[in-house]
Amino acid sequence: MLRRILKNEKGQSIVEFALVVPILLTLLCGIIDFGWIYSNQYKVENAAYAGARYASLYVSDYNSSNMNELIDKIDNRVKENLWNNGEGANITVNITSDKIDVTVVYPVKNLTYVAQTFFGKYYKAKSASVTSI
């Protein structure tokens, strides 16, 4: 009787499944999270580029007295290219005599516990775009 119980393999597949599922779920969650982070990083880079491009095209229309108006328009252009109209984004525009620097820092909420392990609750997607005048 004991020999028959020890050779019985009825529960083997359930045990193997229980051992493999957490690893597979962790991999799946990691793929989803890092895809989400990559997508948002790309969006932030595109937004910084759009702001710098807008600034380089229209900087000649502004002089030093109304430069804040240009900075507001650049800020709006960057926010148009982010999720939720750039809510929570930190946008810095620096205009000098020879270049325009647009820096965007955008907090991205992580979806699963895998990215939260590495980055905390939010990942800060950062990008800077510099163009010459």
Kindly give, in sequence order, each residue whose CB lies less than 8 Å from that of residue 95, ignoring residues fewer than 6 positions away: 55, 59, 67, 70, 71, 101
User: What's residue 107's pLDDT?
Assistant: 95
Strand partners, 128: 103
Average pLDDT, the chain: 91
- Is the CB of residue 122 less than 8 Å from the CB of residue 109? yes
Structure confidence at residue 27 (pLDDT): 95
Is the per-residue pLDDT at 9 higher than 90? no
Q: Write the CA distances from 108 to 37, 55, 73, integer angstroms.
A: 7, 26, 24
- Name the pTM for this structure: 0.83
Q: What number of other Cβ atoms are within 10 A of residue 47's Cβ? A: 26
